[in-house]
Homo-oligomer: A and B are copies of this chain.
Amino acid sequence: MNDLETRQLRYFVAVAEEQHFGRAAQRLGMAQPPLSRAIREMERQLGVQLLVRTTRQVALTPVGETLLDDARRALEAVQAAGRRAHRSGRPAPALTVALKADFDAGLLPRIVEEYRELPVQLLLGGPGDQVRAVRDGRADVALVPTPYDPQGLESEPLVTAPRVVALAASDPLVTHPGPLRLSDLAGRMLPNGTAAELGDVTAPTGQRVRRDLSQIFSLVETGNLVWFLPQWLAERFPRPNLVYRAVEDLEPSTLAVVWAVGSRSPAVAAFVRTAQDVASR
C-alpha cells in the first residue's frame, strides 16, 4: 500500500554508498538531521533495520544490502521513465545512439545515411556506458559487442565475427607454428590488469577495459599485454608493430543493436531494421 518515495530511495542509496550521514547529506545538498530522520522513518515504515550506526561507523545490514540493490534498480527505472518522456518531447527530436568509438564494425556511416526517420545523435562512451545509457533513457539504442549485461534490454544481432589476438611484432608467438590456442596465451596480462587464465579470457573485450584504444595498442606493442578484438576492429587499425593472429578456441564476438524493454517505438524499430539491412550486405 504505502510505497516508498523516490526521495527516500535516493537518500538511502546516498547513505549506503557513502557509509556516512554527513557526506551523504552534503552530496544530496541538505543537512544531516533531516537525512537521519528520513532514514529512521524508512526503517519504521518497513519495520526493518537497514543500517547499524555507531558514532564511528555506518554499516549495512543484510536487509540493507538487498535494498541497496533493489533501490538502485528502481531509481534507474524511474529516471529512465522521466528521461525518455523528456527527450521524446523535444521540439527537434533525434534518435540517440550510444556506442564505443570505433566499435561499429564499420556499419555506422551507412546506417546513419540510410536511416531517414530522424536526425541521429551519437553518444560516445567507455565500456559499459552504452547499456547503462539505454537502460536509464539517455540513449534510444546502442551498438555493443558481446558479451554485455542484457538486463532490461532487448536486442538483435547484426554481425558475428571471429575475434583475433593482437601481438607485438616482436612476440615469440608470432612465429608460433600452427594455429594459436588460448592455452598459449595463459598468464599474459590483459588490458584490465588481470592475468589471462583459461576461464577468464573471454571477458576483456567487454566490460572492464579502462583505457582507450591507442593506449591499449601501444601497451600491446611494447609489453606482453595481449588483447582480443573483433576481426573488423583489427582490420580498421593496421599498425606496423602489431600482428593480429587467429586463436582457435576464442569465441567469436557478435555486434548487436540493443534497446530498452518496451521502448521499441517506430523510430527505434526503423533504426533496428536499417541496421540489420546494412549488416546483411
Q: Residues of A with Cβ closer than 8 Å to B?
A: 3-7, 9-10, 46-50, 62-63, 66-67, 69-71, 73-82, 84-86, 88-90, 137, 151-152, 261-263, 265
Selected contact of A70 from candidates B4, B85, B90, CB within 8 Å: B85
Selected contact of A79 from candidates B3, B6, B49, B76, CB within 8 Å: B3
**Are B69 and A9 within 8 A (Cβ)?**
no
Determine the distance from Cα of A191 to Cα of B194 in the docked complex, in whole angstroms.
55
Whether A4 contacts B46 in the complex (CB less than 8 A), given A261-B151, A262-B73, A265-B66, comes out as no
Say what secondary structure dominates the interface of chain A.
helix
Whether A63 contacts B88 in the complex (CB less than 8 A), given A6-B6, A10-B3, A69-B262, comes out as yes
**Are A261 and B82 within 8 A (Cβ)?**
no
Whether A88 contacts B66 in the complex (CB less than 8 A), given A4-B6, A151-B261, comes out as yes
A62 contacts which chain B residues (CB < 8 A)? Answer: 88, 265
Determine the distance from Cα of A159 to Cα of B238 in the docked complex, in whole angstroms.
50
**Are B74 and A80 within 8 A (Cβ)?**
yes
Selected contact of A63 from candidates B49, B77, B85, CB within 8 Å: B85
Whether A77 contacts B70 in the complex (CB less than 8 A), given A3-B6, A6-B3, comes out as yes
